[in-house]
Amino acid sequence: MAKQNTPVAEQEVRMGKRVNRRVSVLLAEIEKEEVPDRLLELARELQKALNEKMGSPAG
């Protein structure tokens, strides 16, 4: 019997892909960035994206 994808599972996959893209973009921006304040902001965005991906509450 083949496993059927539920709408919830498909939505989670799409969310994971969006978060992965977001993390990739943030990492690319961090590599280019020279301003410490901007790096801190990007690091916070990265942490938030990783928390979302892992299902942890943002803190």
Residues in the chain, pLDDT under 70 = 1-8, 35, 56-59
Separation CA 52–CA 41 (nearest Å):
17
Separation CA 5–CA 31 (nearest Å):
37
Quick check: is 5 in a domain? no
Quick check: is 58 in a domain? no
Separation CA 59–CA 57 (nearest Å):
6
Quick check: is 6 in a domain? no
Q: Look up the pTM and report it.
A: 0.41
State how many domains the chain has.
1
Quick check: is 2 in a domain? no
pLDDT at 44: 92
29, 46 contact by CB (below 8 A): no
Name the residue range of residue 20's domain. Answer: 11-53
Quick check: is 34 in a domain? yes
Amino acid letter, residue 45: E
